[in-house]
Amino acid sequence: MDDYEVLGVIGKGNFGSISKIIRKSDNKILVWKELDYGLLSEKEKQNIVSEVNILKELHHPNIVQYYDRIIDKKNKKIFIIMEYCEGGDIGKIIKKLKKANEYFPEELIWKFFIQVLMALKTCHNHKEGKILHRDIKPSNVFLDGENNAKLGDFGLSRMLSEENNFAVSRVGTPYYMSPEQIEDLKYNEKSDIWSLGCFLYELATFNPPFTASNQLSLALKIKSGKVESIPNIYSQELSSVIMCLMRVNPENRPNVEEIINYPPVIIRIRERKLKEHYIKIKKKESDLEKKEQIINLKEEEIKNKEKILEEREKENNLKEEKLENKELELHKREMIIEIREKELIEKEDNLKKKMKLYNNSIEKTSKNIQKQGPIPLPQINYDLNKKINTNSNNNNLY
């Protein structure tokens, strides 16, 4: 129970309240039906548990999905966890339309009819054993957010009142009880078909086909099978299909497969299939369009990136060219430096050679000088007397 949080009570049934709940693990909105089992026998309790276990295995878009049941021993309660149907039940819608003096459009009746028929097909042909609904009536057919019918509230009321079919105080007046039930014969899938006929009749007229102030006269009316005709705004086809489903003798009543093959039914089933197919194709088409848009956007993105890359490549090429030019220049300079270096070395060599020659000549000269002895002083012929004489006139030093 800790796995769920109660959002609020949304309805009261004959056996307990219905609450909207949220499953904490994935935030899924569901409902639970709360049943007091304090007054139930052990067998009745067991019946409910095993029935829910079977119902959990029924999966169909037109059947209210059962998920789990929780037994609260302390408070003597059973909680049956089911799919939430946001459109409520058809019983309530009938009341609203009746008040507003409006009728269901005929095609909506056919739609509900075929959807409940498909649900019954799944139940009556269930692999692990036939499942009978036992309580088809407007208040047990629910609607989802798109006005799709879902058969719900399977046989629980029957299990709780098996002993007494006419327990009005507990299960309400059994307006939809089939003639064979009244005869106390075994309930079989044909009894579900009878109830389906009653359900359609009520959709068209807003009243159950048989009503009476006491159960004895109700039973008599049901066994006679005589009903007032449905409003003439509806087609003869609809009227005759309803009458077929409400044939008093169960053997003359069609089973699900036979109903499906009635021309007005099969045509509508095919029409619905085509519509669904069309919707699927349209959806695929729009999905494809969306994918195409995404691909186009990606393509544009790639093109833009390509452009940026191209520009970068150009920039890089320019840079590379510049670098190459610089390299060339550097290479030239290097060559010039090399040539200069060579020239310098050559000059150095020449200088060295000259130096050597010069040194050699110096050496030679000095050797020659040594060989020749001291170099005679150059002869200077001074006329000393002349010199003195010239000076004697004006100088008496001597």
Give residues in contact with ligand ADP (CB under 6 A): 10-15, 18, 31, 33, 64, 82-85, 88-89, 139-140, 142, 152-153
Q: Which residue's CB is nearer to ligand ADP, number 115 or number 140? A: 140
Q: Which does 14 bind (CB under 5 to 8 A by kind): Mg ion, ligand ADP, none?
A: ligand ADP
In the bound complex, what is the minimum distance in angstroms from residue 48's beta carbon to ligand ADP?
13
Q: Binding to Mg ion by residue 34, rule CB under 5 A?
A: no
Q: Which residue's CB is nearer to Mg ion, number 153 or number 202? A: 153
Residue nearest to Mg ion (CB): 153
Binding mask 113-152 for Mg ion (x = CB under 5 A): ---------------------------x------------
Tell me the catalytic residues.
135
Q: Which residue's CB is nearer to ligand ADP, number 8 or number 129? A: 8
Q: Taking CA 219 as the corner, what is the angle to CA 217 and CA 225, rounded to the nearest 5 degrees?
A: 105
Q: Which does 69 bind (CB under 5 to 8 A by kind): Mg ion, ligand ADP, none?
A: none
Q: Which does 246 bind (CB under 5 to 8 A by kind): ligand ADP, Mg ion, none?
A: none
Q: Which does 149 bind (CB under 5 to 8 A by kind): ligand ADP, Mg ion, none?
A: none
Distance CA 340, CA 348 (A): 12
Cβ atoms within 10 A of the Cβ of 97, count? Answer: 14
Q: Which does 195 bind (CB under 5 to 8 A by kind): Mg ion, ligand ADP, none?
A: none
Q: How many residues bind Mg ion (CB under 5 A)?
A: 2
Q: Binding to Mg ion by residue 19, rule CB under 5 A?
A: no
**Contact set for Mg ion, span 151-180 (CB under 5 A):** 153
Pairing between strand 141-143 and 4-12? unpaired
In the bound complex, what is the minimum distance in angstroms from residue 257's beta carbon to Mg ion?
27
Q: Which residue's CB is nearer to Mg ion, number 51 or number 153? A: 153
In the bound complex, what is the minimum distance in angstroms from residue 148's beta carbon to ligand ADP?
13
In the bound complex, what is the minimum distance in angstroms from residue 142's beta carbon to ligand ADP?
5
Q: Which residue's CB is nearer to ligand ADP, number 68 or number 83? A: 83
Q: Which does 31 bind (CB under 5 to 8 A by kind): Mg ion, ligand ADP, none?
A: ligand ADP
Cβ atoms within 10 A of the Cβ of 244, count? Answer: 16
Q: Which positions touch Mg ion (CB under 5 A)?
A: 140, 153
